[in-house]
Amino acid sequence: MVTLRELVRCYQAFESHSAEHIRRIGLTPPQFDIVATLGNTAGMSFKELGEKTLITKGTLTGVVDRLEARGVVRRVAAPNDRRSQIVQLTGEGQALFEQAFPEHMDHLRRAFEQLGPAELHAMEDALRRLRLAFTGVRSRAAASAHRRNAPTEVEA
């Protein structure tokens, strides 16, 4: 399917363009994802951070360890569950976020500026419809599975 191939190639080009800049500012893409996700927050649990960044638990622990060693993040006990930890940006981490995030958005913006407003609007609309097609398929599949597994009136 040509559309799928082009979508994958677009994603790969975006990731490559983004990662090149992230490495220039001294971070890996997963490190940047964590710093960007934690920026302007009071911190997050590992579970929440993993869900928002889509970084797996094993990888997340290692990335947080390296950021902690650099003084960018710290772990603190969760206020209502001492067994759980919250990951927060340190002062140095917040300063890194405030410098790196806008710089990276500017880097990405330059690529998007090659397209006109009408092209961008059409692309946003097409991407939204594609996302909804996928989420709709997933929702319909879940509803169908639920109906297949639900007891009928005769069984109930």
Task: Give the domain extent around 38.
Answer: 2-114
pLDDT tens for each residue of 34-46: 999 999 999 999 9
Same domain, 23 and 100: yes
- Is residue 43 within 8 A of residue 88, CB to CB? The reply is yes
Which run of H or of E encompasses 148? helix 117-149
Same domain, 63 and 9: yes
Calpha distance 78→46 (Å, rounded)? 11
Same domain, 23 and 45: yes
Residue with more model confidence, 1 or 137: 1
pLDDT tens for each residue of 82-96: 788 999 999 999 999
Same domain, 82 and 101: yes
- Is residue 73 within 8 A of residue 34, CB to CB? The reply is yes
Same domain, 96 and 126: no
Burial tier of 30 (Cβ tally within 10 Å: 0-12, 13-18, 19+): buried
- Is residue 20 within 8 A of residue 43, CB to CB? The reply is no
Number of domains in the chain: 2
Same domain, 89 and 142: no
pTM, whole model, 2 decimals?
Answer: 0.80
Same domain, 92 and 81: yes
pLDDT at 153 over 60: no
Q: What is the DSSP letter of 74?
A: E
Same domain, 76 and 42: yes
Same domain, 43 and 106: yes
Same domain, 18 and 76: yes
Q: Tokens for 142, please give them.
A: 């879940």
Calpha distance 63→66 (Å, rounded)? 5
Same domain, 72 and 23: yes
Which amino acid is located at 77 in the chain?
Answer: A
Burial tier of 85 (Cβ tally within 10 Å: 0-12, 13-18, 19+): middle
Last residue of a domain, one of 99, 114, 129: 114
Calpha distance 11→131 (Å, rounded)? 14
Same domain, 95 and 124: no
